[in-house]
Amino acid sequence: MALAWNEKYQLITRNLAECLGEEKLEKILKERDLKLYWGTATTGKPHIGYFAPMSKIADFLRAGTEVTILFADLHAYLDNMKAPWALLELRTRYYEAAIKAMLKSIDVPLDKLKFVKGTDYQLSKDYTLDVYRLSSLVTEHDAKKAGAEVVKQVSNPLLSGLLYPGLQALDEHHLKVDAQFGGVDQRKIFTFAEKYLPMLGYEKRIHLMNPMIPGLAGAKMSSSEEDSKIDLLDNAAAVKKKLKKSFCEPGNVADNGVLAFCEHVIFPLFKDGEVFNSSRTAEFGGDVSFSKYEDLKAAFASQEIHPGDLKNAVEVYINRLLDPIRKEFAGDSKLQSLASKAYPPPQKQKPVEAEVTPARLDIRVGKIVQVKKHPDADSLYVEKIDLGEPNGPRTIVSGLVNFVPLNEMENRMVVILANLKPANLRGILSHGMVLCASTEEPTRQVEPLRPPANGVPGDKITIEGYEDGTADDVLNPKKKVWEKLQVDLVVNTDGVASWNGNPLLTSTGGKITSDTLKNVPIK
């Protein structure tokens, strides 16, 4: 039975983080079906996080929307040319096979779905001329701002990264669609398109944005982080292993990839009458079911549902989604060959060890915006610390209870080592370290380092003479980079933090100090 326009509108917009152009969407649906595209760069291997956009694409298709999936092979090539064209061609074919298998596994009609490669039209004369026309209008500032959430930000960006937002904007016109769908991290590119397409005489499009789903490690789900995602072809044992290792703090509903998968994939795909089942022994309350995600969320927040029970339940649903995909690939030797060629096992090479210099440390000014004692450790504080990051304050656990009173920790400016590997401290994941001046036992004293008065959250701290270089994304604990550098990190006789005699400085040249301790190590 055909859906009314308002029913289509409800399907199209449900569970989105944001919709830009709602009035236009209503107007189109009253006249005809929507035309929409979703683009994905064919680089990293698709994983279960792709079920989030797929569940929305399922909504679009069920609402009669004409959906184009763009395999952005040219965008992928421009991404620092990580993959040659021959490999990108194989990966594009793998993406198409994987996405079709995913949609079939959730019973989505494919008659209004089509696939397009970027190079099918992005190398045409008309598109190329539009790129040049757009480049005559866009400032470097606007191009960098638009790509801030999706293009790696560096002090001297490549021109390819500055082109990226413009190409994505032009895709809307050249694919002849009404709307573009993407993650909320694409918002700046979408508003860039809304600003610049009309300058070229082209229509402003509708933009539909999905929430970003945390990965299993607690951050954004990423193809490059093995433990943060489950591959579409992972077997049941691998699914169990990765879920078991996943971050799922009791009562934490804000940064929980397992719970987010329930909200954005499992529940939206339920048919009428289906419920979320969690099997438990009678000792722990017996089996329980939820017909609405909000009820599951509330039960987890109040700790009625244990993380282990949630993981066990989600494992069942993930395997249910993956089984048809596994079977399709297992029964087709051509698909198996395609998968192995598109993503060959990495060649084992002896890594070239980067020089251990303090430039590898990501040290920043932070502000403690919330602090409380750890519920399960008398000596630990749990702090929310603002580092000026778009995702909000980080959770950092510090052993300062016996050295700094709680009231002195509140709203305090501190110095944070921000690129340590997250560590689980008595059940709470800590994303960094508060750097402190510290004396040795038996009469140990500890003072958090003090940024200059003009320091602001997120201000980068460098070491004089070592300003050049890029900090590691995450310090490899096996390489002991921090341990090697920490031995020369001290508060000197003037009370100034320094490394090997060179002071630590903020971007404005301000020095890092200790309130009272001098001639002591920094830990």
Provide the CATH number for the domain around residue 314. Answer: 1.10.240.10
Residue 254 in domain: yes
Which of 342, 366, 386 terminates a domain? The answer is: 342
250 and 335 in a single domain? The answer is yes
How many domains does the chain divide into?
3
Do both 42 and 153 map to the same domain? yes
Evaluate whether residue 350 is within a structural domain. no
| 8 A C-beta contact, residue 118 and residue 131 | no
322: left (phi > 0), else alpha (psi -120 to 50), else beta? Answer: alpha
Please tell me the distance from the alpha carbon of residue 185 to that of residue 150, in angstroms, as a whole number. 7
Q: Of the candidates 167, 192, 210, which is a domain's last residue?
A: 210
Token duo for residue 340:
């192995």
316, 309 contact by CB (below 8 A): no
- 279 falls within a domain: yes
- The residues, ordered by sequence, that sit 6+ positions from 278 with a Cβ below 8 Å of its Cβ are 287, 288, 289, 290, 305, 309, 310, 312, 313
Looking at the structure, tell me whether residues 323 and 369 fall in a common domain: no
Which residue, chain included where needed, has tokens 């933009």? Answer: 207
Spatial CA neighbour of 483 closest among 448, 433, 444, 439: 433
* DSSP H/E element including 113: strand 113-117
Q: Residue 48 sits in a domain of what CATH number? A: 3.40.50.620
Name the residue range of residue 411's domain: 358-521
Is the same domain home to 64 and 145? yes
Report if residue 456 sits inside a domain: yes
**Whether this model's pTM surpasses 0.75:** no
Q: How many CB atoms lie within 10 A of CB 359?
A: 19
Q: Choose the final residue of a domain: 282, 310, 342.
A: 342
Residue type, position 182, single letter: G
Are 301 and 370 found together in one domain?
no
Q: Is residue 278 part of a domain?
A: yes
Note whether 122 and 164 are within 8 A (CB).
Answer: no
Listed residue (420, 431, 396) closest to 476, CA to CA: 420
Up-side HSE of residue 468: CA atoms within 13 Å toward CB? 3
Residues 6+ apart with CB under 8 A from 375: none
pLDDT, one tens digit for every residue, the chain (523 residues): 689 999 999 999 998 999 999 999 999 999 999 999 999 988 888 899 899 999 999 999 999 999 999 998 887 877 655 668 888 899 999 999 999 999 989 888 788 899 999 999 999 999 999 999 999 999 989 998 988 877 766 667 778 778 889 999 999 999 999 999 999 999 999 999 999 999 999 999 999 999 988 776 554 444 445 555 899 999 999 999 999 888 888 999 888 889 989 998 899 889 889 999 998 888 888 899 999 999 999 999 999 999 999 999 999 999 999 999 999 999 999 999 999 999 888 777 666 667 889 999 999 999 999 999 999 999 999 999 999 999 899 999 999 999 999 999 999 999 999 999 999 999 999 999 999 999 988 889 999 999 999 999 999 999 998 988 889 999 988 889 999 999 999 999 999 999 999 999 998 899 999 999 999 999 9
